[in-house]
Structure 1
Amino acid sequence: MRRDIVSYVALGDSFTEGLDDPYPDSGDSPYGRYRGWADRLAEHLAEHVHEVRYANLAVRGKLARQIVEAQVPRAVELNPDLVTLCAGGNDILRPGSDPDQLAGVLERAVRRLSATGAEIVLFTGMDPGFQPVMRHLRGKSATFNMHLRAMADTHGCRVVDLWGMRALRNPGAWSWDRLHLSTEGHRRLALRVCEVLGIPADGDWNSPWPAEDPKPWRVARQDDLQWAREYLVPWIGRRLTGRSSGDGVPPKRPNLERLR
């Protein structure tokens, strides 16, 4: 990072696209204009170098294989100094997915990106134990994380340990859909990535959350039912029909452009 111009490419799915952290001026875009931790990371970088050129190729709903096939070749073509790659979350959610095979898909991408000489940052999966509906995925996520750490050691990548970020287990870190980070969650994650990269940034990603009284049992169950109707049922419907929330959605920053 000790240079006048830094180029950065972010790869991934909705987690890296920035859902649900909208810009105040999202306007009339059919997909909204999301900020997210990757945009925030680029902004932190811009505080320390003369110029940051930034591309974000992430698209919501994409599986690891789709990210590897569509985004990685473009990243290699752009030849950036820094690449963040977060993939596999949508795969882990799917019944029958194999974390061993998933890791193999991702390692091919890491090998190809490493050959460019870029600094690569990988992300472990989060611990789903704090989400009752997803608690059964802990074994798959933990297996995938072990593979990811091994490939990071092999290829000299940095790792952001989402599993160990207890600050992200607070409900305030998540939006209403319980699948995407809130604005505060994205802010904290950007600070954590800065820490991993050794980039000075104001703020503490691990600062205590404000104390909140627990919801009464009846209110919590009503929230669960509403969440299931609005998010879980449509998600299952897309899986059964082979559709994705990212169908027809283009990358928000397909080219390396100067951050303003």
Structure 2
Amino acid sequence: MVPETLLPDSGRRVFVALGDSFTEGVGDRDERLPNGVRGWADRVAEKLAKAQPGWRYANLAIRSKRLRHVIGEQLEPALTMRPTLVTLYAGGNDILDLKTDMAVLMDDYEKLVAQLTDTGATLVLFTGFDVKVSALLEPLKKRNTFYNQKVRAIAAKYGAVLVDYWCLDAFHDRRMWDSDRLHMSKAGHKYLAGQVLDQLGVPHKIRLKDWEPPAKLSLREWEQHQRRWIHDWVLPLFGRKLRGVTLGDQLTPRWPEPVKVPPKGGLKKLAAKYPAGSAWR
């Protein structure tokens, strides 16, 4: 049964998504949409509109953003939109920064959650997944565990809906991840959208792909994959860090203002109305 507080018979229905690449939709490529991606949040917005037409949707998330950027750049615009549903995932990029003080980070995270809670909107929070990218990142597992423990506690304290991403076993399949191994693939984004909708009580028909077991790589194939990953993703990442730039520096939010989501045709139908090069792209 769909919760009455989420999908009321009348009144405002505004969904605002906040965060970084996780929420922007990186890994789920679609050149017909802003920033060339789709993602789980777009899919959730479309299912909301199908369940009850009239939902408006804004996605302020931009790849590479740290928690301080979400607070400084996304919070105020979100508050002015008077949201009735907010999703927040932030802090993952901070965990990768070894100088981050995790206690301070989570204090700031809780303050952000408190402000969003004060809007009266339904708030959805996420734990982080233990992505098996490389043995070099295993020391970060303790930081990720600390983050997840705090998110769970904060969600309980403020009455937020929790999507416990850490516990979703489906993501142990490498096909749920994009070639950079850090962002979900199209299949991963689609599955996560279903998990969010389940938590919100919104009907949908999203199901986990019925895959055959993944083929085991030979040593030569594994080495080829490693070399390609290092060349295509690791070296460029370190290069950007040395230059002090990120992939999100030149991007704007995909849906900066709440747009009414068409119940039929979804956001792709809406995007087709805008010429290439429009400001929202």
Q: Distance in 2 between matches of 1:210 and 1:35?
A: 26
The letter of the residue matching 1:224 is Q
The structure-2 alpha-carbon separation of the partners of 1:145 and 1:6, relative to structure 1 and needing over 3 Å to count, comes to: same
Shift of 1:217: 1.4
Q: Which amino acid aligns with 1:22?
A: R
Tell me whether 236-245 or 13-22 shows the greater mean CA deviation.
Answer: 236-245
**Equivalences for residues 207-218 of structure 1 within 5 A:** 209-218=211-220
Is the 1:128–1:137 contact (alpha carbons within 8 Å) kept by the matching residues of 2?
A: no
Distance (Å, rounded) in 2 between the aligned partners of 1:166 and 1:159: 16
The equivalent of 2:230 in structure 1 is 228
Separation of aligned partners in 2, 1:201 and 1:164: 21
Determine which of 65, 68, 72 is the counterpart of 1:69.
72
Cα offsets for 1:149-199 (capped at 9, x unmatched): 111111111111111011112110011111111100000000000111111
Read off the aligned partner of 1:259 and give its amino acid letter. Answer: V
Equivalenced residues, count: 255
Q: 1:19 to 1:222 in 2, by over 3 A?
A: same
Q: Per-residue deviation at 1:130?
A: 6.7
Aligned to 1:14: 21
Corresponding residue number in structure 2 for 1:96: 99
1:117 partner SS? coil
Deviations 1:16-67 (A, max 9, x none): 01011122635xx7xx421100000001111211211000000011001111
1:42 to 31, 42, 45: 45
- Larger RCO, structure (CA 8 Å, separation 6 or more): 2
Residues 176-187 of structure 1 aligned to structure 2 (within 5 Å): 176-187=179-190
Q: In 1, Cα distance between the equivalents of 2:187 and 2:132?
A: 21
TM-score normalised according to structure 1 size:
0.93
Query: Any idea what the Cα deviations from partners look like across 1:70-114, whole Å, max 9, x if unmatched?
Result: 101111111110000001111111223232221112111111111
Q: Once the two structures are superposed, what CA deviation does each residue of 1:123-171 show, in whole Å capped at 9, x if it has no partner?
A: 1011235753432211100001111111111111111111101111211
Distance 1:189 1:108, change over 3 A: same
Match of 2:274 in 1: none
Residue aligning to 1:120: 123
- Residues 9 and 80 of structure 1 are in contact (CA less than 8 Å); yes or no, is this contact kept in structure 2? yes
Unmatched 5+ residue regions in structure 1? Answer: none
**Which position in structure 2 is the counterpart of 1:153?**
156
Q: Can you give the 5+ residue segments of structure 2 that lack an aligned partner in the other structure?
A: 1-5, 263-281
CA distance in 2, matches of 1:230, 1:131: 15
Residue 108 of structure 1 is matched in structure 2 by 111
